[in-house]
Chains A and B, each alone.
Chain A
Amino acid sequence: MASAAPSPDPDTAARQRWMRVLSLAPVDRLEAAWRDVSDPPVPRTARPPEIGTAMVTGRAGGTGARFNLGEMTLTRCAVAIDGADGATRVGHGAVAGRASRHAELAALFDALLQDPARRDELTKAVIEPLAAFLEERRCDESRQAAASRVDFFTMVRGE
């Protein structure tokens, strides 16, 4: 609930990046990526998918004091995966909507990506392509919006 972001250590920043991509990615792409995971682990459910809400807050005037805008649906899930190094890693998924499978897939990838033995390969095979897809989609939408930008002709009037 803290409003100030804790300044992240490099590991946290990397994890935030992949968790963002996993939340924003379409679920069918995550499902396909999960099918392609080589040597798939056997996950244990640490916290089964749970549907609830997040209270969305805004700021008065965009920059002022906080207020509650309204809630949104949110699904969260946590899984535990034992790595080849014997360590157990807990993956978290928290995604907008009523989306149990999406939350589960996000949690599975989050757990795998915490494993140094898998991180580079999965980042290259899953996260980077998804990030590129999201960026391309954002850019397409923005270019469409830009087509309706008004170009005012400025009439130069004589002095």
Chain B
Amino acid sequence: MYVAVKGGEAAIDAAHAQLAARRRGDPDLAALTVAQIRDQMALAVARIMAEGSLYDPDLAALALKQAWGDVAEAIFLVRAYRTTLPRLAVTRPLDTAAMAVQRRVSATFKDLPGGQVLGPTFDYTHRLIDFALAAEHGEDASNPPPSAEEPLDAAMPRIADILDTDGLIEPETDADDPDPDAPVPDLTRAPLTFPAGRALRLQALARGDEGFLLSLAYSSQRGHGTTHPFAGEIRMGTVEVEIIPEDLGFPVTIGVVTVTECQMVNQFQGSRTAPPQFTRGYGLVFGFAERKAMAMALVDRALRAPDLGEAVVAPVQDEEFVLSHLDVVEASGFVQHLKLPHYVDFQAELDAVRRMRRAASGEGASS
């Protein structure tokens, strides 16, 4: 229970002014531009877009600047802004097979068609601090990375599609959509009820807190709902986005989004109705977000346990637990609401504790 407390207005104004000044920092230093943040803090910007559930790099960069570098606060700002915008379209499903690939690796096949493409990865860095970056003119942007003579192969088949042709992996086709013209369930429009189903789970995971998903995925690897996963394929790059405007009636391209896709492949021993084969977990995230996409794919597979006739024994397999706790704005809000005045509640509890202590000491005295 909260009680309106008056009298804080001047204090709040002063707090806002302090926040603005601290956010800006030393006025002798140049202010960051939004373009600098967008380009040079691109992975933080990607996380804000993914968890803010709104793809707009400039907006996410501005939110990060306004949030004093607090990614969760920036996500909150983006979510709030999103609610002011009318929804004008629903896109056609992204065709990740047609991605302009910038990175593509597989841990299951060395020689896959199209090859392994490392792209801009931290994987082979030594994690040594590069003090050259601290020097005033330490960075030489005039040195572009090397280019090959030829571009990548035009066809970069997804690893799951290759296994699929041999029947070794469970198929996923558009026939899985009971009604291809029906709207897709949307957790931003309808209250979440359980069981939620895979479409809502994937939406929730795609905008879920990266840290929470990472820990859940890790827990499944350590044996809490184990899934024996292989990273079938990870690909990052840009995909063109198409909409079918109601007033035109045919698809038009509106632009591109950068996404990261991860296909986890898991051994499945088969059941009475299904032969032994590989099953799949799927991750798809806005921006360069490899860790998040991998975690999402692991958690997606774990959450499919009931559909595949597996026992639900661990938190990562529990749809209600995962979906109720993965949103950073909800989690942050509910934890932080404890800062709100609880003066009356607390007085009541204080009285109760005093009464109980008196009663207990009275009993102690009489025995």
Residues of A near any B CB (own CB < 8 A): 1-6, 8, 12, 15-16, 19-20, 23-24, 50-74, 76, 92, 94-98, 138-150, 152
Contact = CB atoms under 8 A, between A and B. Distances in A.
Give chain A's interface secondary structure class. Answer: mixed
Contacts, number: 262
B54 A60 contact: no
B244 interface: yes
Interface residues of B, number: 88
A147 B148 contact: yes
B97 interface: yes
B87 interface: yes
A61 B255 contact: no
Contact of A148 (B117, B185, B203): B117
A72 B115 contact: no
Interface in B32-53: 49-50, 53
A67 B241 contact: no
Contacts of A50: 86, 88
B206 interface: yes
A63 B117 contact: no
A145 B152 contact: yes
A73 B56 contact: yes
A152 B183 CA distance: 46
Contacts of A149: 115-118, 148, 152
A63 B152 CA distance: 22
Nearest to A20: B253
17 contacts: A15-B250, A16-B251, A50-B88, A57-B90, A58-B96, A59-B93, A65-B172, A66-B174, A66-B199, A68-B186, A74-B89, A94-B89, A97-B255, A142-B151, A143-B147, A149-B115, A150-B115
Contacts of A94: 88-89, 243, 245, 252, 254
Interface of B: 49-50, 53-56, 58-59, 82, 85-94, 96-97, 100-103, 110-111, 115-119, 144-152, 158, 160-161, 172-174, 176-177, 180-181, 183-188, 198-200, 202-203, 206-207, 237, 240-241, 243-245, 247-257, 259, 261, 263, 280, 282, 284, 286
B148 A61 contact: no
A152 B110 CA distance: 8
B181 A3 contact: yes
Contact of A56 (B55, B88, B152, B180): B55
Contacts of B261: 62
A4 to B, nearest CB: 7
Contacts of B144: 144
Nearest to B105: A150
Contacts of A71: 53-55, 82, 85, 87
Contacts of A72: 54-56, 91, 241, 255, 257
Contact of A63 (B56, B89, B91, B174): B174
Contacts of B248: 92
A63 B257 contact: no
Given A70-B49, A70-B207, 15 more contacts: A16-B253, A24-B253, A51-B85, A54-B91, A56-B55, A58-B93, A62-B161, A63-B158, A67-B200, A72-B91, A76-B88, A143-B149, A144-B148, A145-B103, A152-B111
